[in-house]
Amino acid sequence: MAALKLLAISGSARNGSLNGRLLAAAVQAASLRGAQVETIDLRSLALPLYDGDLEKSAGVPEGARRLRDALHVADGVLLATPEYNGFPTPLLVNSFDWLSRLQAEGTAPAGLAVTAGKPVGIVSASPGLLGGLRSLNFTRQYLSMAIAMMPVPQQFALWKAHEAFDEAGALKDAKQQASLEAVVNALVKVATALKAAR
Ligand SMILES: Cc1cc2nc3c(=O)[nH]c(=O)nc-3n(C[C@H](O)[C@H](O)[C@H](O)COP(=O)(O)O)c2cc1C
């Protein structure tokens, strides 16, 4: 069987993003388990804030098609997102909201057709003591209830994230690394089983 393909997504595109660093550690763990991981930069999709009038006049922006195509070829998704006031970020939600507006075009599937039943592992990082924990269930609910994805049960909130990484970008604490790997392991296991079942 061909290698498992994962798409890595961060809800923060900020330079030096803690979630970007956590995602990189998750990508490394997934790569060590034989997965081929592509990373997509949501900021590079240049998606404006969703606006129904804009959609009516100009259609769904090209960036949504790039996200659709990247998701289409992926067997699963690794997702890290900051918590903004208890919620996943506007960058993340806006990107998936635009994706959800994309209808099937010729042989290209609709946005929600490529997310339906796709497994996702969700993590978050914050300098705070809860590590973004409050947002994880909202992220999980949004991605499953509205976007039809299948979050694996394991999740990880990295607290005091600004102190958590060594200079090579690895998590210094072995327990935190094990928690991150538990999410990655579950994602790889579920995505591999679903790929084999197709
Ligand atoms: C608008 C806003 C709201 C925030 N709300 C929370 C919050 O509810 N919980 C939390 O732990 N951190 C919160 N933070 C702090 C972020 O966790 C912190 O900025 C973090 O570094 C953002 O992730 P990033 O480094 O990946 O960009 C908030 C930051 C911003 C800008």
Residue-by-residue pLDDT tens, the chain, 198 positions: 799 999 999 999 999 999 999 999 999 999 999 999 999 999 999 999 999 999 999 999 999 999 999 999 999 999 999 999 999 999 999 999 999 999 999 999 999 999 999 999 999 999 999 999 999 999 999 999 999 999 999 999 999 999 999 999 999 999 999 999 999 999 999 999 999 998
- Pocket around ligand 1: residues whose beta carbon is below 6 Å from it? 12, 14, 17-20, 82-86, 125-128, 130, 132
Instruction: Tally Cβ neighbours within 10 Å of residue 50.
Output: 17
Start-end of H helices in 33-128: 52-58, 62-72, 90-100, 111-115
pTM above 0.75, yes or no: yes
Which residue's C-alpha comes closest to atom 23 of ligand 1? 82
